[in-house]
Amino acid sequence: MKDKRYNAVVTGVGMYVPERIYDNSYFEKIVDTSDEWIRTRTGIRERRILENGGTSVLATKAAEDLLKSKNLSPEEIDVIIVATVTPDMFFPATACLVQDNLGAKKAWGFDVSAACSGFLFAFQTGCSLVESGNYKKVLVIGADKMSSIVDYTDRNNCILFGDAGAAVLIEPTDDKKLGLQDSLLRCDGSGKDVLYMKGGGSANPPTHETVDQKMHVLFQDGKAVFKVAVKGMADISYDLMKKNNLSSDDIAYLVPHQANLRIIDATAERMGITREKVMINIDKYGNTTAATIPLCLVEYYRDGKIRKGDKLILASFGAGFTWGASFLVWGMD
């Protein structure tokens, strides 16, 4: 990383998952699948579904949880960045809706669209704003209502996804040993043909035909994505470790995007990291796209499993393709 004025450190966390649960037996009733297949092929047991409202509900509730736990006034927030591929609408940005819901009167904000890497891209962006010295309190939220774009007749994909929101607060510190140390982030648009939602944008505006052709739901060639996801996430995490002279012993936790337990295991194996040092909650929530990584951070922190000074590698792979890894030293007691 280039010279920077401050380091950007996580000083607060918050999360929201809806109450409604779809466990694997629900999918046994609606498509040709089984609890056993889903558990062994993906690691997922259940996921949460938001029944009313859009992604701004998930994002707002996660931010409110954070503000409450920090006893922070919304007016102290400088910037709100929401990572999502399921915004409430094209515009205004979900970040604006969250700003209004919170009453964050002095904030500006915007959305980041990078699918499952959305949180990492938004986190890097938020940290850069803080490192420059220009902003003191940046809220980065990963939130997706995947149930709004899932085709519940497609057994290949409907079992994978859930809805959630999770947030971190980033603030400056003079202690260069804490906070974000380094990131390697990438995108490659040649992946556009295996994971996408084609309808609704300027290339394919909504018509009766686009609806009939199921262009407003997610499509994924799971097998093709699986192969590149394993390689992409494992290689970039390994490269980041090498670049920062980190051995697997130095790392307290790998915090991987939760798309499939087998992808997570393959990444950990490549890094020489044992299962106990891998954050996993895919069994409870499925793939919540931009929310998976912050959701892991919140749960593990609140369970007392992360301590100040712990070295974490955050890693993701998603549509685009987008992928990356970040080396973060935890800064909260």
HSE on the CB side for 275, CA within 13 Å?
4
User: Nearest approach, Cβ of 257 to ligand COA (angstroms)?
Assistant: 7
User: Nearest approach, Cβ of 149 to ligand COA (angstroms)?
Assistant: 11
| Active-site residue, from 96, 257, 260, 296 | 257
The token pair at 191 is: 């992946």
Query: Measured from the CB atom, is 43 or 179 closer to ligand COA?
Result: 43
Do 220 and 273 contact (CB within 8 A), yes or no? no
Question: Residue 148 carries which DSSP code?
Answer: G
Instruction: Specify the residue for token string 């390697």.
Output: 184
User: Nearest approach, Cβ of 293 to ligand COA (angstroms)?
Assistant: 13
The CB-nearest residue to ligand COA is: 222
Question: What number of other Cβ atoms are within 10 A of residue 234's Cβ?
Answer: 21
Query: Measured from the CB atom, is 95 or 225 closer to ligand COA?
Result: 225
Query: Measured from the CB atom, is 22 or 226 closer to ligand COA?
Result: 226
> Is 127 an annotated catalytic residue?
no
| Active-site residue, from 96, 116, 158, 296 | 116
CA Rg value for the chain: 19
Do 315 and 169 contact (CB within 8 A), yes or no? no
Kindly provide the b/e burial profile for residues 118-138, where b requires at least 16 CB atoms within 10 angstroms of the residue's own CB. Answer: bbbbbbbbbbbbbbeeebebb
User: Nearest approach, Cβ of 229 to ligand COA (angstroms)?
Assistant: 4
CA dihedral for 298, 299, 302, 306, sign (positive or negative):
negative
Q: What is the distance in angstroms between the CA of the first residue and the CA of the last residue of the chain?
A: 25
Three-class SS of residue 270? helix
User: Nearest approach, Cβ of 165 to ligand COA (angstroms)?
Assistant: 17
Query: Measured from the CB atom, is 74 or 256 closer to ligand COA?
Result: 256
Query: Measured from the CB atom, is 41 or 270 closer to ligand COA?
Result: 41
User: Nearest approach, Cβ of 195 to ligand COA (angstroms)?
Assistant: 6
**Spatial distance between the Cα atoms of 45 and 25, rounded to a whole number of angstroms:** 9
> Is 187 an annotated catalytic residue?
no
**Spatial distance between the Cα atoms of 105 and 123, rounded to a whole number of angstroms:** 22
> Is 287 an annotated catalytic residue?
yes
Which uninterrupted H or E stretch holds 47? Answer: strand 46-48
Query: Measured from the CB atom, is 128 or 326 closer to ligand COA?
Result: 326
Instruction: Specify the residue for token string 């609704």.
Output: 200
Task: Give me the residues paired with residue 326 across strands.
Answer: 183, 314
Query: Measured from the CB atom, is 208 or 223 closer to ligand COA?
Result: 223
**Spatial distance between the Cα atoms of 219 and 110, rounded to a whole number of angstroms:** 26
Q: Which residues bind ligand COA (CB under 6 A)?
A: 33, 37, 41-42, 116, 155-156, 159, 222-223, 225-226, 229, 259-260, 263, 287, 317-318
**Spatial distance between the Cα atoms of 104 and 94, rounded to a whole number of angstroms:** 14
The token pair at 70 is: 């920090």
User: Nearest approach, Cβ of 193 to ligand COA (angstroms)?
Assistant: 14
Looking at the annotation, which residues are catalytic?
A: 116, 257, 287
